[in-house]
């Protein structure tokens, strides 16, 4: 079988023959080497005085050689990073169709609010009396999250979705231990369509993972759950809407089966952005659920600092929320930092999940989004996300096959590679060809329950005109594949700064340090 990874990473002579330039640049698309290749380690763009004689205080650990950083003038350094920024694809560049990893527009209003001095300049070790406004904002955001989910409590400190999963499952583990069943309930049920972090999280804290097969329609059967649940089961970790882009129709029955057996229901809230204002997880029987603020409430996707993954908890788990957490104290707010303080109020926190309360910048951005949209606006955002995904589905369903039939989806639409059979084009080839057309590829080969999966999530922030161009592009590619124009795909991308990379090798054998190439000997030598 032809290996389509690991092809040359730079354009070949044949590629460049028809459009060769002396510099290698193509108009505004400029070649940019590594900074080490354009700078000199023996020079610097800044004059630094020689230090006065001093005695090192590093106990013999002082550096023996130079740092080895390249020296560039200020214009050279500026041009290098500006040119690199022009090679990035982001939501400000175009539609980002990644399924299960919503990349939505981050309103600039949110950024302005996060940069207000009272929020952007505070320090986690400031006296509580000097950050009352920040604590009030955290308390207000927590109240909105509990209202939108129908849950009793929320832990605000987790830094991301996977961190939130850890928090929710640790609360479940603490609750089971408090009942004296910690040595008995050691198994967690995880559907085959779950995010990979679900079984990893359960295993990390000592649970055994038992897979739950999905039905032919991509959803979980409550009778399958009933057959697997028993006195050894601690919880189920179910994503809803699930990773196939479908709402689990029997979620209430699944929750009932878990509760009847004395177990808990953890819901992966990665796809909460499809149902905000439409359905409350607490009303469906969920005991714990993390919320990705970047997916649902428009904060940045973790870039530039930690993300945020608050965890909402039901009545059954509220007492086990970790420290620190905010409470109202007289006319102001207090931060409960220690377990003994929490126990005085009747809580039994499982511990401290992180050093400080959370990511203030993300909290400000999320609340700005909520307040600017209001309850009706957030509901409409969910409706528009589902509408956009179904529009893409309807526009492509005659050319691209769907593993679970041509049925309505939620916020993302899932295709498989059955329609490519016999074309000589793979899912990876199709994705790489999208780069030449100016689009970031959709999520490919996930979820694993679908062969050659192509998962598209357009988000609610895309206009119809944007979707129409995207659909037209995919239709053109699909028809080209069906016509047998394999070269357009198997060699793609042709127009990216670098060609197809060997992602597997790069992940397994990363080169993290630049080393200068060996000197080339002249023929005369």
What range defines the domain where residue 456 resides? 375-497
386 and 358 both lie in a single domain: no
- Asked if residue 33 is part of any domain, the answer here is no
350 and 431 both lie in a single domain: no
343 and 477 both lie in a single domain: no
Query: How far apart, in whole angstroms, are the C-alpha atoms of residue 469 and residue 309?
Result: 33
Query: How far apart, in whole angstroms, are the C-alpha atoms of residue 184 and residue 220?
Result: 25
Task: Give pTM, 2 decimals.
Answer: 0.89
CB neighbour list of residue 237: distance below 8 Å, 6 or more residues apart: 165, 169, 188, 189, 190, 191, 194, 198, 199, 201, 202, 266, 267, 268
- Asked if residue 240 is part of any domain, the answer here is yes
157 and 258 both lie in a single domain: yes
Query: How far apart, in whole angstroms, are the C-alpha atoms of residue 290 and residue 156?
Result: 10
263 and 389 both lie in a single domain: no
- Quick one: 453 exposed, middle or buried, by C-beta within 10 A (0-12, 13-18, 19+)? buried
CATH code (residue 382): 3.90.1150.10
425 and 393 both lie in a single domain: yes
CB neighbour list of residue 269: distance below 8 Å, 6 or more residues apart: 161, 164, 281, 289, 290, 291, 292, 296, 312
- Asked if residue 525 is part of any domain, the answer here is no
The tens place of each residue's pLDDT in the chain, 525 residues long, gives 455 555 556 555 555 545 578 877 878 788 888 898 888 877 777 777 888 998 889 988 988 887 778 888 888 889 999 999 888 888 889 999 999 888 888 899 999 999 999 899 999 899 999 999 999 999 999 999 999 999 999 999 999 889 999 999 999 999 999 999 999 999 999 999 888 899 999 999 999 999 999 999 999 999 999 999 999 999 999 999 999 999 999 999 999 999 999 999 999 999 999 999 999 999 999 999 999 999 899 998 765 556 899 999 999 999 999 999 999 988 899 999 888 888 877 899 999 988 888 789 999 999 999 999 999 999 999 999 999 999 999 999 999 999 999 899 999 999 999 999 999 999 999 999 999 999 999 999 999 899 999 999 999 999 999 999 999 999 999 999 999 999 999 999 998 888 888 888 989 999 988 888 887 666 555
262 and 402 both lie in a single domain: no
222 and 253 both lie in a single domain: yes
CATH code (residue 321): 3.40.640.10
Last residue in a domain, options 318, 349, 367: 367
340 and 454 both lie in a single domain: no
412 and 363 both lie in a single domain: no
271 and 413 both lie in a single domain: no
Contact 306, 159 (CB under 8 A): yes
Query: How far apart, in whole angstroms, are the C-alpha atoms of residue 372 and residue 392?
Result: 28
């Amino acid at each position: 079988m032809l290996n389509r990874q690991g092809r040359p990473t730079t354009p070949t002579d044949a590629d460049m023959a028809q459009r060769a330039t002396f510099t290698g640049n193509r108009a505004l698309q400029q070649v940019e080497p590594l900074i080490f290749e354009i700078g000199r380690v023996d020079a610097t763009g800044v004059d630094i005085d020689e230090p006065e004689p001093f005695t090192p205080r590093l106990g013999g650990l002082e550096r023996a050689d130079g740092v080895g950083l390249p020296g560039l003038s200020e214009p050279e350094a500026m041009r290098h990073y500006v040119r690199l920024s022009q090679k990035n694809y982001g939501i400000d560049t175009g539609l980002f169709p990644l399924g299960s990893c919503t990349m939505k527009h981050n309103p600039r209003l949110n950024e302005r609010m996060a940069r207000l001095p009272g929020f952007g300049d505070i320090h986690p070790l400031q006296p509580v009396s000097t950050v009352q406004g920040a604590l009030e904002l955290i308390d207000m955001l927590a109240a909105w999250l509990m209202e939108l989910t129908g849950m009793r409590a929320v832990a605000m400190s987790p830094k991301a979705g996977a961190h939130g999963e850890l928090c929710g499952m640790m609360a479940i583990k603490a609750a089971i231990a408090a009942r004296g069943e910690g040595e008995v309930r050691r198994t967690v049920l995880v559907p085959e369509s779950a995010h990979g972090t679900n079984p990893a999280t359960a295993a990390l804290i000592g649970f055994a993972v038992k897979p739950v097969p999905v039905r032919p329609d991509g959803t979980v059967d409550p009778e399958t759950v009933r057959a697997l649940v028993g006195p050894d089961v601690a919880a189920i970790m179910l994503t809803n809407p699930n990773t196939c882009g479908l709402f689990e129709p029997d979620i209430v029955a699944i929750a009932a089966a878990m509760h009847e057996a004395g177990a808990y229901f953890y819901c992966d809230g990665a796809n909460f952005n499809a149902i905000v204002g439409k359905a409350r997880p607490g009303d469906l029987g969920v005991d714990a659920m993390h919320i990705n603020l970047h997916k649902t409430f428009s904060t940045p996707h973790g870039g530039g600092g930690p993300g945020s993954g608050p965890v909402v908890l039901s009545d059954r788990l509220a007492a086990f929320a970790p420290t620190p957490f905010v409470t109202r104290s007289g006319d102001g707010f207090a931060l409960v930092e220690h377990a003994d303080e929490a126990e005085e109020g009747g809580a039994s926190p499982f511990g401290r999940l992180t050093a400080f309360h959370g990511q203030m910048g993300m909290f400000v951005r999320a609340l700005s989004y909520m307040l600017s949209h209001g309850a009706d606006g957030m509901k409409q955002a969910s409706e528009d996300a589902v509408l956009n995904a179904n529009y893409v589905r309807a526009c492509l369903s005659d050319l691209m096959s769907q593993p679970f039939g041509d049925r309505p989806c939620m916020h993302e639409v899932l295709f498989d590679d059955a329609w490519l059979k016999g074309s000589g084009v793979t899912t990876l080839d199709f994705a790489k060809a999208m780069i030449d057309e100016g689009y970031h590829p959709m999520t490919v080969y996930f979820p694993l329950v679908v062969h050659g999966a192509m998962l598209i999530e357009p988000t609610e922030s895309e206009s119809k005109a944007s979707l129409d161009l995207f659909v037209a592009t995919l239709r053109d590619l699909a028809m080209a594949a069906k016509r047998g124009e394999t070269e357009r795909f198997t060699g793609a991308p042709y127009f990216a700064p670098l060609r197809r990379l060997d992602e597997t090798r790069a992940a397994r054998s990363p080169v993290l340090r630049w080393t200068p190439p060996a000197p080339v000997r002249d023929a005369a030598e």
